[in-house]
A and B are shown apart, each in its own frame.
Chain A
Amino acid sequence: MECYSEQTCTIFVDGELTVDEARRLRDHLARCQRCRKLVDALRAENRVLGESLHELPEEAAGPVGFPRLRLSWVWGDLAALAAVLALVSIFFAWVDKLRIPEALEWLNPFSANGLTNLIFNLSYNFAHGGTVMLADYAAVVGALFAVLGGGALLLGRRWRLHPPGLHLLVVLLALSLPSFALERRHGEFVTVAANETVDDTLLAAGNTVRVEGVINGDLLAFARTVEVRGTVKGDLISIAKKTVVTGSVEGRIYTFTQSLDLSGQLGHSIYGFAQSLRVDDRSRVGEGIVAAAGDVSLEGEVKRSVDMLLSGNVDVSGSIGRDLSVSGVSPGRSLMLTNTARVGGNLSARVRQLKDVHIADGATIAGKRDIQVQVRKSHFTRPRFYFHQAVWLASAMLVGWLGLALFPGFFQATTQAVGSGWRSLGLGVGVLAGVPLVMVVAAITLVGIPVSLMLLALYLAAIYLAKIWVGAFLGRMLLKPSGVTKRDWMLGLFVGLLILTIVGFIPYLGGLVRLGMVCLGLGAFAWQLYRASRPTIAA
């Protein structure tokens, strides 16, 4: 009988020949010495292969911990960064086609107009402790998440969200949001004519939004200029460069604007951020004002209290029914009450120097005057500061623990993703800058509003969680534990957060470190979300 091929013998030695064939080959081997020799040689080969492979290369001898921050990231990750930038520019090219930036040019940081605006706003915001405000806001969202997570834990389920479950939850959330009766107008110049009445809430986006008629619902306006000459019976919500109300708003005004001019009637209150806020002598505010603004001029009548949280110059020449409180007057700016000013309640002001307060002799203040000069004392000398830091750290640890208990795989993998360095950093910068723009663009479309709100919640939560992932990664890098237990992770988190907190207080550098931390964490989160959205591998 003819001898078998070497390949057949190889398959035989691997034990992969069918039973019949193997029996025939075995019979042949009993007669053929040449084939027997070959099979023996192949067996020896297999043994050597197995032994050599199982010995493992030198580098496998050490434990595989979490990957360390590598220097070899540079090229690949610079490419990733470039890709992110390219994507962002493609996004803007696309946005440009939609002609949205004309209305929102002042928001677009890639245009000259938007850039100066952004730089001005950012420097102004930072100078006035805006980062602290953002961090506080993020902390509130973090606490909310902690409460929700705690509730879920108390329900006693080891609750894990798999991607389909997550999708379902998102859909349910989206559906559970109240659906408004909403009319939507979009264009270069959106007007509600003098003889026109809009019965629903109006969502208007354009370069100029002008209301001369009547809106029975609320007005949501995204524009360069928003003018209300007629009547808005509900609330006015404006995100605009310039907001002017000469007519009447019967509800409240919520605004995020460069300048707000009120010379008409307002039923309730103003809540807002504005670079300049003016309530002129023809106007009347039915309730109060709570705002952070650069320059404030109150010439008209405010029925209740005025609270300026952050401010530059504050000039009061009109009347305020109750208290006037001004805090955070920046250095070199002043609080001035003219002869015609009238404050029905107390005046309280926090200023840097006493000479920053000018109260004319003719000004009337019915209540007490409480003017405090805030001497800048180092916060390191105050015990309250340490207490706050301890609470901050404890709440971050709690949130970290909850996260790990609820989504163990996701949290550990995100921690690990921080280690990709440039990729996370580049992605994080993109997400940090891109998400607010996406939110604004999404909010312009009708269906986008709930999506935009959910995105905002996720964004703030991720900003808060960023330090947890970066802290945990840093801790792991330093401690190099051999295991992947929760205890190791929590210990790493504690050490990492402690270091980040201390480094965060170094002047100038601290701010950069915090920004880097947020970017890294956000990037890792985005990357992990992307990875989690792909199908997992079954055994």
Chain B
Amino acid sequence: MDAESYSAKGPQPRDGKAKQMEELDLESVIGRARGHDVAALEQIYRRYVRRVFGLCRYMLDSRESAEDATSEVFLKLQRSIESYDGSIPFPRWLLRVAGNQCIDALRRQRRGRQVIVEVEEGATVVEARSAEPSPLGAVMSKEERAQVRDAIARLPENYRLPLVLRYYSELSYDEIAQQLDLQRNYVAALIFRAKQELRRKLAHRSK
């Protein structure tokens, strides 16, 4: 990703250590960060701040709360990185932490109540298979992709959160279920419904 190119034009004069860090592979940077090496933590910040902020922005409703959540993730990283055991790729682990942070922020807004509550209609969805091709599949241009993002942003939270966690953070259904404290089947249903709603929104727009 282009985080490196961004970091290169950072306004700060770089000292030798930071430069040296940039050339190190991710594994050794993480290793150093676990030993509370500030330069290594800074390097992780430079590499992943955009991706983490992106997730927070998709999940939370304002830029300010997304900024707050992003800062929290990196501030807590000094401690939380100790629990990273290397069993999954680091970016995915970091996005999982960030997702948790966002859900925690949402839960706080709701005074501790669950972010998404399972409702009676349950996990099964009765649907008629549409004969029309999905408007989503035909998206090619940059403008169209911006429209998709816009439509996702306007999805209700219970659809948006699982969708973003699945296709941005690339979490499994099980992981999403665990984060949102829902049944796995319900997560599958929500993702399915989210896509249907998205198609409807996009079809409506293109008409």
Contacts and interface: CB of A to CB of B under 8 A. Distances in A.
Interface string B1-43: 0000011001110000000000000000000000010110110
Nearest to B71: A416
Contact of B67 (A55, A67, A72): A67
A381 interface: no
A48 B148 contact: yes
B104 A537 contact: yes
Interface in A514-539: 536-539
B154 to A, nearest CB: 13
Contacts of A486: 38
Contacts of B120: none
Interface in A60-83: 60-61, 63-64, 66-67, 70, 72
A438 to B, nearest CB: 25
A481 interface: yes
Contacts of A7: 125, 127, 188-189, 192
B64 to A, nearest CB: 6
Contacts of B71: 64, 66-67, 413, 416, 484
A42 B64 CA distance: 34
B116 interface: no
Given A59-B63, A64-B71, A480-B11, A53 B46 contact: no
Contact of A56 (B42, B50, B80, B134): B50
Interface residues of A, number: 50
Contact of A11 (B6, B38, B63, B188): B188
Nearest to A58: B146
Interface string A382-414: 000000000000000000000000001100110
Interface in B72-96: 72, 74-76, 78-80, 83-84, 93, 96
Interface string B129-147: 1000110110100100110
Report whether over half of chain B's contact residues are helix, strand or loop; otherwise say mixed: helix
Contact of B78 (A38, A72, A409, A483): A409
A54 interface: yes
B201 interface: no
Contacts of B180: none
Interface residues of B, number: 67
Contact of B38 (A56, A413, A485): A485
A409 B96 contact: no
A56 B54 contact: yes
Interface string A25-53: 00000000000001001101110111111
A55 B145 contact: yes
Nearest to A416: B71
Given A53-B168, A64-B67, A484-B75, A537 B97 contact: yes
B57 A537 contact: no
Nearest to A16: B173
B147 to A, nearest CB: 9
Interface in A287-346: none
A499 B49 CA distance: 30
Nearest to B153: A57
Nearest to B187: A16
A6 B136 contact: no
B168 A64 contact: no
A413 B75 contact: yes
A339 to B, nearest CB: 71
Contact of A60 (B11, B54, B72): B54
B76 A485 contact: no
Contacts of A480: 11
A10 interface: yes
Interface centre among A57, A61, A408, A488 (most CB of B within 10 A): A57
Given A64-B49, A482-B12, A16 B127 contact: no
Contacts of A51: 145
B114 interface: no
Contact of B149 (A5, A53, A488): A53
B53 A539 contact: no
A370 interface: no
A59 B57 contact: yes
A485 B10 CA distance: 13
Contact of A408 (B50, B78, B100): B78
Given A7-B189, A14-B191, A416-B71, A539 B96 contact: yes
Interface string B104-140: 1000000000000000000001010100011011010
Given A44-B137, A50-B167, A60 B57 contact: yes
B76 A52 contact: no
A481 B46 CA distance: 12
B164 interface: yes
A72 B145 contact: no
B11 A482 contact: yes
Nearest to B140: A48
Contacts of A11: 173, 188, 192
Interface centre among A10, A51, A57, A539 (most CB of B within 10 A): A539
A377 interface: no
Interface string A2-17: 0001110011001010
Contact of B164 (A44, A53, A57, A416): A53
B148 A481 contact: no
Nearest to B101: A537
A158 interface: yes
A539 B173 contact: no
Nearest to B57: A60
B45 interface: yes
Given A14-B166, A413-B72, A539 B134 contact: no
B64 A67 contact: yes
Contact of B133 (A41, A60, A158): A41
Nearest to B128: A6
A165 to B, nearest CB: 13
22 contacts: A6-B192, A10-B191, A11-B188, A14-B166, A14-B173, A49-B195, A52-B139, A53-B167, A53-B168, A55-B149, A56-B54, A67-B67, A72-B64, A409-B75, A409-B79, A413-B72, A480-B11, A482-B12, A482-B46, A484-B41, A536-B79, A538-B80
Interface of B: 6-7, 10-12, 36, 38-39, 41-42, 45-46, 49-50, 53-54, 57-58, 63-64, 67-68, 70-72, 74-76, 78-80, 83-84, 93, 96-97, 100-101, 104, 125, 127, 129, 133-134, 136-137, 139, 142, 145-146, 148-149, 152-153, 163-164, 166-168, 170, 172-173, 188-189, 191-192, 195
Closest 4 CB pairs of A and B: A44-B137, A52-B148, A52-B145, A53-B168
Given A42-B134, A539-B96, 6 more contacts: A56-B50, A70-B64, A409-B75, A482-B7, A482-B11, A536-B80
